[in-house]
Amino acid sequence: MKIKKQFFILSSLIISIPILCSVFIIIHTYIHSPNRYLMKGSKQLNKLDSVSNSNLADIEKSLKMLPKNVQALLCRTTDRQIIYSTIPEIEVGKIMQREEINDFAMETSDQYFYQFTRIPSAGPDLFLVTRLSHEQINNEQKTKSSLKILLLIILITFISLILILFISKAIFDGLHKIEMTSSQLAAGKLDKPISLEHSPSKENEFSIITRSLEKMRCELLEMQASKNRFITGISHDLRTPVAVIKGYSEAIMDNVITDADEIKNSMDLIDKKATQLEEMIDTLLNFMKLNNTEIQEKLVKHSITRLIKDFAKYAEVTGKIFKRNVKTDIQLSKDIKIPLNNQLVQRSFENLLSNAIRYTKENDLIEVIAFFDERDSKKYIVMQIRDTGYGIDKKDLDYIFDIFYRGTNSRQEEGMGIGLAVVKSIMDTHGWKISVESQKKKGSCFTILIPCN
């Protein structure tokens, strides 16, 4: 259950418990008020309704069933004779007028509560007076009410305690798990997967955080692997020209190369390799600049549809120059403007086209396609650059967007393994997605998803 919901239950309980208690006390006080108290014996009194005065034994039997602390007297309405009495001051057989009974009740009303009931019967009607002492009611009522309220409070406290324990346990378990997981991540232990809650009933804010932590762990792991590949790649690529420069300069210094022409050739080679090294460092620095959030902040609204259409025309011309069969199909009728960096987007499209040209043979087919699509109720422009060239080896597919990574098909082509890393970085800067599908010797298809809502 969501923590928000659990807190809602807890706060509802905190608000409703005093209200319920107050309602209970009000109802309880009303039911047990002195006026209603005598009515407790009303079941017995009602029985008297159907009894005739000739059957005094039955009436007496019913009156004896009244609660012990209730005193009663029964008076015949015709001759005003008292035919039954448990009130010590009034004896059986006494004749008492209605006014006399009223006066008697008035005089003792500071000690007793009185209730008057008329009992119709087959013979003359009967007049019943019942009474109960104040003291008894108050004491009895107080003890009973206090006992009930105490029991109720104990019950409510018990239920609330169980609920609080249950909710606190869920919160503390969640916090404990997050604490353990984050310290595991902080200690750099990324290889152990974080166990996730699968039951939807147990889904709450903590399981969402745990899932995000697991996602973060996977991303950190991937970043670590990518960093390792980057370092391996860069050290290998920088080492090669350095080795050549070092080898030739040592040969000159140790007088291994003495001929003036040979020295000149060696110096040319050293210069070429130093320039290559410089270019590599520049490319690297430029690539690092691409990962700058400043670019993200400087994106301006521009027509993406116009940009794609212009690129399609550029692709057709370039195809002719490099003798590739370039076909374009741009189905973007509506003009869409979105925030972008014109130059960077153009550069990424050109990198993809340049790869498509480099990894295909003469007259191979290259297609540039774009259309509107809706995925998960979000609108996108889908752009694809497909070719029917060498294709990419399955084992390379996961790494081709890494900087300095070159696929097994790239040996015969010049390159530094930086083009796709640049494309990926530009896509990330814009919040766009790029993916690749490829089959060796059949060709490749690079797909870009551009959100346009």
The two structure tokens encoding residue 240:
């090669």
- Residue 424: phi and psi, rounded to 5, are -60, -45
Query: Which string of DSSP letters, residue by residue, matches 62-131?
Result: HHHTS-TT-EEEEEETTT-BEEEE--TTS-TT-B--HHHHHHHHHHTTTTEEEEEEEE--SSS-EEEEEE
Return d(Cα 121, Cα 255) in angstroms, integer: 146
Beta carbon of residue 364, minimum distance to ligand ADP (angstroms, whole number): 10
State which residue, 174 or 389, has the beta carbon closest to ligand ADP.
389
Q: Which residues of this chain interact with ligand ADP, rule CB under 6 A?
A: 355-356, 359, 387, 389-392, 396, 400, 405-407, 409-410, 415-421, 444
State which residue, 41 or 419, has the beta carbon closest to ligand ADP.
419
Return d(Cα 44, Cα 61) in angstroms, integer: 9
State which residue, 262 or 396, has the beta carbon closest to ligand ADP.
396
Beta carbon of residue 308, minimum distance to ligand ADP (angstroms, whole number): 18
State which residue, 248 or 359, has the beta carbon closest to ligand ADP.
359
Beta carbon of residue 233, minimum distance to ligand ADP (angstroms, whole number): 11
Beta carbon of residue 357, minimum distance to ligand ADP (angstroms, whole number): 8
Beta carbon of residue 329, minimum distance to ligand ADP (angstroms, whole number): 18
Query: Which string of DSSP letters, residue by residue, matches 174-208?
Result: HHHHHHHHHHHHHTT--SSPPP----GGG--HHHH
Q: Strand 71-76 vs strand 126-133: parallel, antiparallel, or unpaired?
A: antiparallel
Beta carbon of residue 356, minimum distance to ligand ADP (angstroms, whole number): 5
Whether 302 contacts 342, CB under 8 Å: yes
Beta carbon of residue 363, minimum distance to ligand ADP (angstroms, whole number): 16
Return d(Cα 421, Cα 434) in angstroms, integer: 11
State which residue, 217 or 406, has the beta carbon closest to ligand ADP.
406
State which residue, 40 or 358, has the beta carbon closest to ligand ADP.
358
Beta carbon of residue 301, minimum distance to ligand ADP (angstroms, whole number): 29
State which residue, 213 or 369, has the beta carbon closest to ligand ADP.
369
In a 3-state reduction of DSSP, which class is residue 301?
strand
Specify which residues 84 forms β-bridges with.
74
Return d(Cα 279, Cα 445) in angstroms, integer: 30
Dihedral (Cα; 77, 79, 85, 90), 10-degree rounding:
120
State which residue, 174 or 233, has the beta carbon closest to ligand ADP.
233
Return d(Cα 366, Cα 351) in angstroms, integer: 14
